[in-house]
Chains A and B, each alone.
Chain A
Amino acid sequence: MSERVRDTGSAAIRERVRAVLPQLTDDPSTVDLPAFRVDRTGLLDVMRVLRDAPECGFQYLSCLSGVDYPDHLDVVYHIFNLQNGAGVCLKTSAPKSDPVLPSATAVWPGANWHEREVFDLLGVRFEGHPDLRRILMPEGFDAGYPLRKDFVDSRPAKVRLVRSR
């Protein structure tokens, strides 16, 4: 790493990312990190560039989380460059009628369990994930995705009890 980029100010990061990925749009709702919004069709290519381009080098996926909005589901990636400490926030979204996104495990293997959690609690299906199973809820749980705002636990108490045995 002879050419380490030392300037980790928000504007400088934004400028460097935009130099290699001009198709990204700014997301002003995030203030602590430079945030970009990307369409789900080009998501994997953008991720690879963010990881591999020398201007970016975001080789560490710190957090992958899902957000439930009234009409769509967001997935938020917080990625960091461990050499210079720079980080960006990448957001993508999927409609609730078709909650499918490409899996980030091909780029950052650490996304594995994060994506399983988002799948488990919000119902986003990650295509290309090696082992997309529930991770937190019991194996037999079939009442839906409990962290969605419209989730109603329709199971009668007795059924819950029997299942828990």
Chain B
Amino acid sequence: MDVSGQDAPRSWLGTPPPEAEGRSSEELPVPLWQHLPGVLTGNVQSFINWARSNSIWYMTFGIACCAIEMMATGASKYDFDRFGMIPRASPRQTDLMIVAGTVTEKMAPRIKTLYEQMAEPRWVLALGGCASNGGPYHEGYNVVDGVDKIVPVDIYVPGCPPRPEALLHGVMLLQEKVRWVQSAEKTART
């Protein structure tokens, strides 16, 4: 992603498609809105992705100390709400499961059940070392070495625990990922 902001060829939303790499900006099609101010053009999937990426509702679900950081991120100082992120208490209404903490073997079936109850498209963010690969409890007698052993994970946020800034960065990466969804079929995973 071009962070300079100078002459970066951008579509009306998001970053250039991967096939644009290596091509000069002259070869890329100019978005229509540059010719017609006040008119937005795009395909339906882009609109859907734009809406989805700015209303990622996450599950109120914390299983260890990382949940404290998640709560701090959701509170007024770091303000998850500016990303359109609202905590929902029911997995049926959530798009994102933030696995905030150590996944024990006893908790693992419950986490899998919660994930399966979420409606698609759904995303999982592993917050902290424990949820990523077991962290300090790696190969512990009752610890699953990472929540990716039981559910697919989209974003890993390292740290023990990660600061709220790290979680926000992970969420922004997830927004990038959501914007790049090409079709509904690709989000259907089991």
Task: Using known A-B contacts A151-B141, A153-B141, determine if residue A165 contacts B106 with beta carbons closer than 8 Å.
Answer: no
Return chain A residues, CB-CB under 8 Å to B145: 157
Residues of chain B at interface, number, CB under 8 A: 12
Return chain A residues, CB-CB under 8 Å to B144: 160-161, 164
Within 8 A of A (CB), among B91-146: 105-106, 108-109, 112, 139, 141-142, 144-145
Most chain A beta carbons < 10 A, residue from B105, B139, B141, B142: B141
Q: Is the interface of A mostly helix, strand, loop or mixed?
A: loop
A146 and B112 within 8 A (CB): no
Within 8 Å by CB of A165, from B109, B139, B141, lies B109
Once bound together, how far apart are the Cα atoms of A136 and B112, in whole Å? Answer: 19
A164 and B141 within 8 A (CB): no
B106 and A137 within 8 A (CB): yes
**Please, what's the 1-or-0 string for A48-86, where 1 marks a CB less than 8 Å from any CB in chain B?**
000000000000000000000000000000000000000
Within 8 Å by CB of B106, from A136, A146, A157, A161, lies A136
Return chain A residues, CB-CB under 8 Å to B149: 161, 164
Closest residue of chain B to A155 (Cβ to Cβ) is: B141
CB distance from B48 to the nearest CB of A (A): 33
**Please, what's the 1-or-0 string for A137-157, where 1 marks a CB less than 8 Å from any CB in chain B?**
110010100100001010001
Return chain A residues, CB-CB under 8 Å to B105: 137-138, 141, 160, 163-164
Query: B181 on the interface (CB 8 Å rule)?
Result: no
A residues lining the B interface (CB < 8 Å): 136-138, 141, 143, 146, 151, 153, 157, 160-161, 163-165
| 7 residue pairs bridging A and B, Cβ less than 8 Å apart | A136-B106, A137-B106, A138-B142, A146-B141, A151-B141, A164-B109, A164-B150
B residues lining the A interface (CB < 8 Å): 105-106, 108-109, 112, 139, 141-142, 144-145, 149-150
Name the 7 nearest CB pairs between A and B, nearest first: A164-B108, A146-B141, A164-B105, A138-B106, A153-B141, A138-B105, A161-B149
